[in-house]
Structure 1
Amino acid sequence: MVLKIHALPGSTCGQLVFMTLNELGVPFEIVPVNFAAGEHKSAEHLKKQPFGQIPVLVEEDGFTLYESRAIARYVVAKYGPNSGLIPSGDLRKIALFEQAVSIEGGNFYPYASGLATEKVFKPMGGLKGSDERAAEYAQTLEAKLKVYEVILGKQKYLAGDEFTLADIMHIPYGSLITGSAGFEALSGPKATPNVSRWWADISSRASWKAVAAAAAAKN
């Protein structure tokens, strides 16, 4: 069985799902959604994703699921319950994992995605991004990563000493802003030692390299 993921290789939200599936060794097929032709707003796509967004998972029996974090959690629960990507059994490990997921959602994603919007997505759409707003996002994210520095000085990964889905959640947007938005606090002169060590570790995994290579091949 090959899962179908309606997305694009370069989609940051899609990449979260792709990397998770790669970590689990689950084969999947990317079904491209042509944004230029408006396929994401077509009646057919809206049946799968009522907001007209990507990614969307479609299984062989027709089961459909959207929202990248929901998809990632689902595939881990179904195909890799013992993978460690989402802890099980130990309530404290589960709680620390959920804490790490909340850290990413509240202290990383809003600023990384905001920076990407101003420096990458708006220009891609022919719009002018706000340099002032981008600088605010970058400054806030740099401050947040100083707290990450403290956390990662006590443990190897964000949820403890084991790599989890919480770490994966950082990689697509982190890679985008590091490579295309000039952000230097994950990998660069502004990166602190523990953050730099953590970022080098998680972004060098084979599961991510395969995702990045697929995206580059489509550019």
Structure 2
Amino acid sequence: MGHQYGKKGEELVFWNSQKQAVVSNWIDVEDHKFEPPALELISELLTKPRNGLAPDLAVVAKAEAQLAKVLDVYEARLAEFKYLAADNYTIADVLHLPNLQALMETPAKKLIESRARVSAWCSEILARPAWAKVVEMKLKAHA
């Protein structure tokens, strides 16, 4: 998808194979390391309470510990680059948006806010105009 639409605005992928390999690595990190604990936290801290259920605090603690480790890696990476894969916004950043948006609606946002670089990265990508349009469409659909 990024290859197909990247040229129509910002380039979300690289045509250089070495740079694309870095993007692919960060896509894998998002998929295998970031998303699993993020989804657990979203389920326990957002979905369950919305459905009148209490979160499982043991699951929350375990997921927070897992996500904290990932965010420590992100914090170090963001000391070197503006975004995860490079100094420009890529599909690796885009893939984080839905889960970051949801996490920021939970007490787990403390994990993001306590890391200066991760917090700045999160704030910036969540404020991008295209993402704001997605959030607006979602709100209209649920209104």
**Mapping of residues 18-57 of structure 1, within 5 Å:** none
- Identity %, equivalent residues: 28
- Give the structure, 1 or 2, with the largest relative contact order (CA under 8 Å, sep 6 or more): 2
> Please, which moves more after superposition, 107-116 or 131-140?
131-140
Following TM superposition, by how much is the alpha carbon of 1:80 offset from its aligned partner in structure 2, in angstroms?
3.3
Bigger radius of gyration among the two? 1
Q: CA deviation at 1:129?
A: 2.8
Partner in structure 1 of residue 24 of structure 2: 98
Mapped pair 1:205 → 2:132: no
Say if 1:115 and 1:181, in contact at 8 Å, map to a contact too.
Answer: no
Gaps of 5+ in 1: 1-72
Gaps of 5+ in 2: none
Alignment check: 8 A CA contact 2:22 2:85 kept: yes
Following the alignment from structure 1 to structure 2, what is the Cα–Cα distance between the partners of residues 185 and 129?
18
- 1:120-161 Cα distance to aligned partner (Å, 9 max, x none): 223344544312211221122112211111111001111111
TM-score if structure 1 supplies the norm length?
0.59
Q: What are the within-5 Å matches in structure 2 for residues 1-219 of structure 1?
A: 73=1, 76-81=2-7, 83-88=10-15, 90-186=16-112, 188=113, 190=114, 192-217=115-140, 218-219=142-143
Alpha-carbon offset, residue 93 of structure 1: 0.7
**How far apart are residue 113 of structure 1 and its match?**
0.6
Which secondary structure state, in structure 2, belongs to the residue aligned with residue 105 of structure 1?
helix
Structure 1 residue 105, shift from structure 2 partner: 1.2
* Secondary structure of the corresponding residue to residue 12 of structure 2: coil
Task: Provide the C-alpha distance between the structure 2 equivalents of 1:199 and 1:118, rounded to a whole number of angstroms.
Answer: 21
CA distance in structure 1 between the partners assigned to 2:65 and 2:71 by the alignment: 10
Aligned residues: 141
In structure 1, how many angstroms separate the alpha carbons of the residues matched to 2:41 and 2:107? 7
Q: Which amino acid aligns with 2:74?
A: Y
Task: Return the alpha-carbon distance in structure 2 between the equivalents of residues 181 and 116 of structure 1.
Answer: 10
CA distance in 2: counterparts of 1:213 and 1:204, whole angstroms:
12
Q: Which amino acid aligns with 2:76?
A: V
TM-aligned CA deviation for residue 164 of structure 1: 0.6
Deviation of 1:111 after TM superposition, in Å, equals 0.7
Q: Give the root-mean-square deviation of aligned CA atoms.
A: 1.9
What SS does the aligned partner of 1:153 have? helix
Distance 1:211 1:145 in 2: 25
